[in-house]
Structure 1
């Protein structure tokens, strides 16, 4: 472990530690109650471990996530990577950041029905202006905001451990039977694994700038940096989730932002709510600019639309969706992420196993295809689409009851791909 690993590890922590992710562990804590530690273990695997694996997977390629997905098929690479950027950008990531900023800074003071519209109007006008010419100023602000946000969250955590003495409540229905696997699926909501597919190249380039070009060396150094990032994220998620678990006796809450604001008020009073709100709102602001710029740059490469028009489109779509409110955004994001995540997981795992099947495109194609069938079914079910004709068949899959029914089809897809590969080689 050297200085570069520490610096890049903290940089990666800052990329993943978006203010939007603060809202999930407290909800898990309050719902899991006495099953908290089992549930947070599952959450950590998909909320921390999987994103770090995704970053490491990107270190195997020369360019970006599209090159990873191109192993299935170039058209799939384009579509899947576009979906990833749309998910972390205008459809969910950016609107979520804006509404979390609002929920933490304005909503606690009950300022009226138009307050969200007014807040997001000013928020996205500034995001649009600064995204047109992303400057070092925004990056510098981000560098100071992340440590400041971490400092305030640490103060909240310390205060929570000393001042919140209530016993843990009973877990709700989901967390009574399968707390680990419910936490596992809950980790999808951070969106960090698919965000890592977009952000991973930043880590790879950081090591290349330091004179490391060997693929094996980059993978090795990425794992070291990921260890630092992982320790930081586990500590933060685990602690704020514990605060949520302790808040179960204080009534019901609409979302994680509501829980954290109430906890800040309970521990530090109104000043704590204001300070936390301002810092979270600013952190969400810089995160939104970064995501708008990332989406603008990606889609300007794959479409003929100029960068400035893409920035306008991304900002406008984000603005419209943000005004539907945080709870609506969260409700719509769950089905999409339930569909995307298994595909991303299988793609990441196949990248590490690539040498074992000599990178056969048939293995990639059938594994992803069979996985997509089940994850699409799960996503549609989350949307409330009736699929009665398919229910009896899909319900027979192993692990279906815990949201992991796609595992066996993925394995079958790999086996099928290997058979097709073998037959093709024999014909040659």
Structure 2
């Protein structure tokens, strides 16, 4: 059995809703505002990493039968540790709390009455926000009925309204490239595409999409993998269209109000635009857009993390904490962190995420060539991950030390010896070394 065209569209909207959060909403306009007249090349680089890598991740995971099976090609223990690290980082320790705080800053803060304590307003807002997300995430296998049928299309319509307003306004003269985009726009856009954090999320979002596909009568695992990939491919098309539109929004905003790359953010770019075009009503409309985007992602992440922990830690007899128990724990933890210590958690989580990203990239790329190359030299998985992991976690240790005002002796100097380290690509050379060693090791063992 296969899904109908309408059901595939529903899965695509669901996948898109789970991907498209605050970071996806603010980075493309920021790229467009800084790149200005060179925004086409900058957005092309951004789309390659922000859309291409996640969709390749969906393809790799679908063909491997799940990310756990893919990472187990290194070793089963490694698969468990890496999976847990990714889930904690993209879930309760970072992304889930951030959805509440970001939407609060955009939805509520601009309209707070004078004299009202911000902490009290945030506490009340996040309580309602997480309560709604908890209710929407009650049944992961039926999440497409909410996100795919209503929330995703509504978000797309609202983004189209903002884009339409920019088309009507037009651009007399696009601003000259500035800030990080003064030169090397394509490369800079590629690196900023990392900031969406969609690749690690793509590695596990498939478990929720797969459960929704099963609920519609598809029980063949190969067909489930194909349908998951179709949904991922459709999501990629939507993301490219939306990123292009938001990039143009940034160009228009930058032509109205010049952007200060040192202090402004993508949220500032959008706020400047809506305030100048529609005043207070525009700012309120933008706040609703952020609310829907963040609520969608929070719901998807709660479903993903709850399903992961429920399946990972139950016994062979099916005993263990129920999905509802994990869902409750994750929701409460996200609520507490979003109000009590998000800034500290983010400072720690970002270096950890930057260490996990290169490992995820090499695993995905090796999986894509598994049939023609990696299966013939299976040791490339271990050696490539080891070489990349050493450099990535050394860089993580250096950044974590800086967070706490410390310095690890010798380590910064050693990392700077790596080619492209300043461009956050210092792991490329170790990956090549691991690839060569893995091929040699495989041939010797054979």
TM-score by length of 1: 0.86
Correspondence for 2:385: 368
Correspondence for 2:63: 60
Contact 2:377 2:443 (C-alpha < 8 Å) held by counterparts: no
Matches within 5 A, 1:335-374: 335-355=351-371, 356-358=373-375, 360-374=377-391
Correspondence for 1:314: 330
Unaligned ranges ≥5, structure 1: none
Between stretches 165-174 and 313-322, larger displacement belongs to 165-174
Between stretches 95-104 and 45-54, larger displacement belongs to 95-104
Contact 1:58 1:201 (C-alpha < 8 Å) held by counterparts: no
Matches within 5 A, 1:142-221: 143-163=149-169, 165=171, 167-202=173-208, 213=220, 215=222
Q: Does the residue aligned with 1:189 lie in a helix, a strand or coil? A: helix
Deviation at 1:135, TM superposition (A): 8.7
Contact 1:9 1:229 (C-alpha < 8 Å) held by counterparts: yes
Correspondence for 1:237: 243
Contact 1:181 1:403 (C-alpha < 8 Å) held by counterparts: no
Deviation at 1:328, TM superposition (A): 6.8
Q: Does the residue aligned with 1:147 lie in a helix, a strand or coil? A: helix
Unaligned ranges ≥5, structure 2: 314-319
Distance in 1 between residues matched to 2:140 and 2:198, nearest whole Å: 23
Matches within 5 A, 1:1-400: 3=5, 6-62=9-65, 64-111=66-113, 112=116, 113-114=118-119, 115-128=121-134, 131=137, 136=142, 139-140=145-146, 143-163=149-169, 165=171, 167-202=173-208, 213=220, 215=222, 225-248=231-254, 249-250=257-258, 252=260, 254-303=264-313, 304-323=320-339, 332-355=348-371, 356-358=373-375, 360-383=377-400, 384=402, 386-387=407-408, 389-400=410-421
Distance in 2 between residues matched to 1:345 and 1:411, nearest whole Å: 13
Deviation at 1:388, TM superposition (A): 5.2
Between stretches 169-178 and 309-318, larger displacement belongs to 169-178
Distance in 2 between residues matched to 1:227 and 1:14, nearest whole Å: 14
Deviation at 1:322, TM superposition (A): 2.0
Distance in 1 between residues matched to 2:278 and 2:203, nearest whole Å: 38
Distance in 2 between residues matched to 1:218 and 1:320, nearest whole Å: 36
Q: What's the CA shift string for 1:103-146, capped at 9, x where partnerless?
A: 22112224442222221122224434554566958842652121
Contact 1:27 1:241 (C-alpha < 8 Å) held by counterparts: yes
Between stretches 291-300 and 74-83, larger displacement belongs to 291-300
Distance in 2 between residues matched to 1:151 and 1:25, nearest whole Å: 17
Contact 1:142 1:286 (C-alpha < 8 Å) held by counterparts: no
Between stretches 133-142 and 29-38, larger displacement belongs to 133-142
Deviation at 1:360, TM superposition (A): 4.8
Distance in 2 between residues matched to 1:309 and 1:231, nearest whole Å: 36
Contact 1:38 1:180 (C-alpha < 8 Å) held by counterparts: yes
Deviation at 1:377, TM superposition (A): 3.2
Distance in 2 between residues matched to 1:170 and 1:321, nearest whole Å: 40
Deviation at 1:320, TM superposition (A): 3.0
Between stretches 278-287 and 405-414, larger displacement belongs to 278-287
Identify if the C-alpha distance between structure 1 residues 181 and 347 changes in structure 2 by more than 3 Å, giving closer, same or farther.
same
Deviation at 1:204, TM superposition (A): 5.5
Distance in 1 between residues matched to 2:177 and 2:351, nearest whole Å: 23
Correspondence for 1:416: 437
Deviation at 1:267, TM superposition (A): 2.3
Distance in 2 between residues matched to 1:337 and 1:402, nearest whole Å: 16
Contact 1:366 1:414 (C-alpha < 8 Å) held by counterparts: yes
Identify if the C-alpha distance between structure 1 residues 231 and 130 changes in structure 2 by more than 3 Å, giving closer, same or farther.
closer
Identify if the C-alpha distance between structure 1 residues 336 and 42 changes in structure 2 by more than 3 Å, giving closer, same or farther.
farther
Between stretches 351-360 and 366-375, larger displacement belongs to 351-360
TM-score by length of 2: 0.83
Identify if the C-alpha distance between structure 1 residues 292 and 5 changes in structure 2 by more than 3 Å, giving closer, same or farther.
closer
Correspondence for 1:404: 425
